[in-house]
Structure 1
Amino acid sequence: MVNRPHLVYFADPMCSWCWGFAPVIKAIRAEFADRLPIRLVLGGLRPGTTKPMDGAAKAGMRSHWDHVHTASGQMFDHKFFDRPVFIYDTEPACRAVVLARRDSMDLALDMLDAVHHAFYAENQDVTSTAVLAKIYASIDGDEAMFRNIFSDPELIAETRQDFYISQQTGVTGFPTLIAGTGADAAFSLVTQGYQGPQKILPALTTWWQRTEAEAVSP
């Protein structure tokens, strides 16, 4: 994938702005398909968090959700805020997407979208292994395999490597989308933060056309 035009998408399954950006990723996949594959890197928004959310944290999150809904139209289940205790550890959800990525990048993107939807639109606890296994099964993954592998140290290390890549790349927020033409070529920033499809798709089309023209020019 890295030796052809492609995108790299830095995201987290429990990032509300990434949920807002989910329709944009769907639109990119529909518009460009295999012409412009997407490499997914899990960012690690709050991996390893152990402290339960307090009232202030919930209030801040509610405000973020309202902003995302206004900007993107994505729906949120506010019954989440009725949970008496919730530990916002994003590592398990990231690890679940990394596991799906072992099968294919398309399955990883499907898993990311499914976890987003389960958490934000359905108030499912995506820090739970059992919940994540069911979500994996819902996208035609092997639930038994998921449960057997999910706690494997190599998978945990692979997930942490994604977090390291995000940090070393200088990504400071999600969603971040960059475009590149090959392993040794510089990347172009498409967006750091949410932008709607009306801005992203024309920008990508222009970049793609320029890249194709440069590839065939003498």
Structure 2
Amino acid sequence: MVKVELAPVRKFRVIYYTDPICSACWALEPYIRKLEEEYAPLLTIEYRMGGLLPGWEHFSDGGNGISKPSDVAHHWEEIAEQSGMSMDGDVWLEDPLHSSYPPSIAFKAAQLQGKEQADAYLRRLREMVFLEKVNIAKEEALIQASIDVGLDTERFKRSYHDPATAELFYQEIEEGAELGVRGFPTILIVDEEGQGARVSGYRPYQHYVEALNKVAKDALQPNQKVYTAKQLLQKYNFLGTEEIRIMLDGSREETLAELQRLEQAGLVECVPVKFGFFWRNVN
């Protein structure tokens, strides 16, 4: 028998405090995907709900000039133009959400069916509210999202109405406060000993890489796998131009030109949104 010693595999947790209606979190989607692509399987991303909007009574976000639903419309569209991730603020004028707690609790209900399913569910909720102007505080929208991503919908409905599911959500709010979470997005990167770093707010991609390297006490080497735009859409099915651009490290012009070539070849479908385009894979 030959004794073999291998270096232990290092693992890092990305604990991501977010909210289904957080516009800065939607803007962050390209960076989250890129972080996963470049550093998997070294890290896992764990979504946690923070409770952005309990309700409009006594709510105020002075830093962004928000005290009522209609104030959100302009704020969303400013961030959309700055980030390249489309957001249709008209939902706040046409069918405003009364709270972000219902979709947050719904996410906890989806988690009871597995991480992959829950992550897909959160993404679908965001597509509905930011791109399709759907009021995801309404139960019918939450149920439709569960159907869209293939959850066991009857089980989902039971979990959603179970007080224990809401309690899981409230516990996450409390835990986030104890960890210093004061706004969204907030990302905690921790090692196997629970030591780590916190990045608050929407930041350039390199901030997250630097935080990961700081926790690792080393400059981790990103994965070298090279994707094409078509391969990314085969993997994720539905992405914005900006998401594809960031993951490919290309310019907007080059990325858009490639996607338009794929569309002309019948390989992807272009979905116009208020600011730019999203793209759906065609098998």
Instruction: Please report the TM-score for the alignment, with normalisation by the length of structure 2.
Output: 0.64
Bigger Rg, which one: 2
What's 2:132 paired with? 122
CA distance in 2, matches of 1:144, 1:161: 25
Consecutive unaligned residues of structure 2, counting only runs of 5 or more, are 1-9, 60-65, 221-283
CA distance in 1, matches of 2:214, 2:184: 21
What's 1:112 paired with? 122
CA distance in 1, matches of 2:202, 2:29: 10
Alpha-carbon RMSD: 2.7
Instruction: Give yes or no for the alignment of 1:20 onto 2:24.
Output: no
Q: Give the partner amino acid of 1:141.
A: L
Equivalent position SS for 1:37: strand
Higher helix proportion? 1
155, 158, 164: which one aligns with 2:165: 155
Please give the residue correspondences for 1:196-211 in structure 2 after superposition, counting only pairs within 5 Å. Answer: 196-197=204-205, 199-200=206-207, 202-203=209-210, 206-207=213-214, 210=217
33, 38, 53: which one aligns with 2:45: 38
Instruction: Please report the TM-score for the alignment, with normalisation by the length of structure 1.
Output: 0.82
Equivalent position SS for 1:34: coil
CA distance in 1, matches of 2:78, 2:31: 17
Higher RCO, Cα 8 Å, sep 6+: 1
Please give the residue correspondences for 1:51-70 in structure 2 after superposition, counting only pairs within 5 Å. Answer: 51=57, 57-70=68-81
Q: Give the partner amino acid of 1:194.
A: Y
The number of aligned residues is: 205
What's 1:86 paired with? 96
154, 173, 186: which one aligns with 1:176: 186
Give the deviation of 1:135 after TM superposition.
0.7
What's 1:216 paired with? none
Instruction: Give yes or no for the alignment of 1:140 onto 2:140.
Output: no
Q: Give the partner amino acid of 1:196.
A: P
CA distance in 1, matches of 2:19, 2:30: 15
Identity over aligned pairs, percent = 21
CA distance in 2, matches of 1:185, 1:212: 19
CA distance in 1, matches of 2:133, 2:56: 20
